[in-house]
Amino acid sequence: MRGSIMDENQRTVIIGISGASSCGKTTLCHLLRLIFPNILTLHEDDFFKPDKEIPMKDGLRNWDCAEALSMPDMIKSLEFIRQNGALPPQLISKEDQDSVSGLPVSSHTVDTLKAKVNSWLAPDQPGYVIRNKKVFLLDGFLLFSQSVSSIWPYLDLKIFLQCSYKNAKARREARNGYITIDDIWKDPPNYVDKIVWPNYQKDHSWMFESGDVEGKLLDEPEGLGKLMTPGGIDVDLEKTLVWIVEIFMKELPGLFKD
C-alpha cells in the first residue's frame, strides 16, 4: 500500500508538492484546482508558529526551518483529512485568501488541460473512478527534509520542483511579504543568502547526488521513497503544469483502486 496511511475506504489521496521557497508550488496548486474538479489544498505555511515563537538565527527570525512549524498541528490536519475526506473545519488558510488572477500560464493551456481532464473523467474512461473522490494537495517548502519525516507516511505521491539558487533568490526577493499569524513579514536585506538558501541546502542535500542541490536527484532517497520531478532544474511553469496533469491522470485511478 506504498507505505502510506490510508483508511479502509480510501476516501482520499494526499499528494505532497515541495521545492525551494518561491519556486511556484502554490501557483501550481491554484492552477490544478482550476483544472480538476475535486482538488483541495492544505498549505504548510498555515502551520507556522506565532511570530514570537519563530527561532532566531544570526539575529534574524528563521522562518525557513522545521522549528518554525507546528508539526503536531500539521499531523492532526493530515489525520483529519485521511479519516474524513475534508479539510479541518477550524482551519482558515491565509494562502487561499490570495487572488488567483494573473497566473503565469496561458488561459489556452488551462482550458485545454481542463477539457482533457473532463474527457478523462467521463464514463468508460480511466478517470471515471475518481469522479466523486477528493484529492488533497499538501503544498510546502519543507516536506521532504528528514526533520519532517513524520508526515511522509501520509503522502501517496511526492512531487519535487527543483529550483536554482539564482531563480529562488530572484523570486523570493520579488515578493512583497507574507501574512503571518500576528503581522506581515517582509524579508530583511540578504535574507535569502543568510537564511533561506542555507536552510534549503541543509534540509535537501541528502536527496541529491554528492549533496549538490542544483545537481541530480536520487531516484529514491532512503526512507522517502520515489520522488517525481518534471525532469530538471528551473523547468518552465507551463511545462511543469502539463507534466503534473499527465502524472495525475496516470497515477490517480490506481491510487483510488488500491
Annotated catalytic residues are: 45
Cell of 220: 529514491
CA atoms of 141 and 17, how far apart (whole Å): 8
Cell of 11: 476516501
CA atoms of 156 and 105, how far apart (whole Å): 27
Cell of 176: 512583497
Pairing of strands 178-179, 184-185: antiparallel
Cell of 30: 491554484
For 49, half-sphere exposure in the C-beta direction (CA atoms, 13 angstrom radius) is: 17
Cell of 131: 469522479
DSSP per-residue codes, 145-208: SGGGGGGGGG-SEEEEEB--HHHHHHHHHH---EE-SSSEE-PPTTHIIIIIHHHHHHHHGGGB
CA atoms of 205 and 201, how far apart (whole Å): 5
User: Which residues share a beta bridge with 179?
Assistant: 184
What does the buried/exposed string (b/e) look like for 221-252 if buried means 16 or more CB atoms within 10 Å of the residue's CB?
beebbebebbeebbbebeebbbbbbeebbeeb
Alpha helices (runs of H) in 40-164, residue ranges in sequence order:
71-84, 107-120
CB atoms within 10 A of CB 219: 9
